[in-house]
Structures are given as structure tokens and as C-alpha cells.
Amino acid sequence: MKTLKKTFIAFMAVTLVSCTSLYDHFTYTETIQTKLDAISLIDKSDTPYSDSEVQITNLKNQMKKMVIYENGKDKNQLTTKMWELISSEKHLMGSYLKLWEEKESLNTAFKEEAKPQIEEAFNLMIFYEEKKDKQSQNALTQFINQFNL
């Protein structure tokens, strides 16, 4: 009986810790997948936009989904703002896709200049979701503030 009681207590402790965590597995995995999809499209952007339209539409929809999902969570303004920034047609991935559509293809030099900044944005969100500490929060805030939103 004591072993069963100890096992139950251990199980409840693990369950309680996992339920109260600020970590959101969905956000974490979706951010990683979206980053991979975005980088893959950047790598293809020296080809005609029309060749990748289905993937581009899927990425745009994914980014919209994440804005809606993150906006629906309490006390989550920072992550929501970052998703809005990434997907905006004025900044980061949203503007990259808009320019690609307008130009029909982008040159390699432009790709190589934009890619690190877009990767950094995703990496900061991934780091923030992993840690949810002051350091990751400050890094994300500083990145957002660069855009004077």
C-alpha cells in the first residue's frame, strides 16, 4: 500500500508541474516548423514566385493561424506581437514574400541578406518559448523594438 501511495504522489507531482508550466508545446513545435518552411522558401526565392505559390499560401496561412492562436492566450502580448511582426507585409517574412511576388524572383545577394534576420526572429521566439525567462523576454522585446511598432 505504501508503494502505491508513493507512486500516486509522484505521479501527481509530475502532473501538477507539467500542468503549471508556461511552456506551450504547440507554440514551440509550430514555430520550429514555420521557421523551417520559411527558410525553405527563402532558399527557393531565386526561382519564379509562381513555382512556389502553394507553399507560400500555406506559409501565410500558418503565420495567420499562429497570430490568432497566440492572441487567444492570456498574458501573451509579446509572442502575439512577434508573430504579427513576422507575418506583416511591412516586415520580415511577410514583406519578403510580398517583394518576391512583386519581383517574381529575388537575387541571391538579397536572399543572403534577409535570411539571417528572419532566422533570428524565429530563433528568438523559439528561445523564448523554451525558457520563458527574463533574458529571453528582453531579447524578444529588443528585437521587436528595432521596428518601432
pLDDT tens-place string over residues 37-87? 999 999 999 999 999 999 999 999 999 999 999 999 999 999 999 999 999
Non-local (6+) Cβ contacts of 124 within 8 A are: 82, 136, 139, 140, 143
pLDDT (mean) for 101-111: 97
Asked if residue 139 belongs to a domain, the reply is yes
Domains in the chain, number: 1
pLDDT at 19 over 70: no
* Any domain includes 9: no
pLDDT above 60 (res 105): yes
Asked if residue 3 belongs to a domain, the reply is no
User: What whole-number distance in Å separates Cα of residue 48 and Cα of residue 112?
Assistant: 17
- In-domain check, residue 64: yes
- Residue 113 lies inside a defined structural domain of this protein: yes
Q: Tell me the residue range of the domain where 30 lies.
A: 24-145
Instruction: Tell me whether residue 11 is in a domain.
Output: no
Does the residue 52 lie in any domain? yes
User: Does the pLDDT value for residue 21 go beyond 90?
Assistant: no
Can you tell me the mean pLDDT for 106-128? 97
In-domain check, residue 1 = no
Quote the DSSP letter at residue 128.
Answer: H
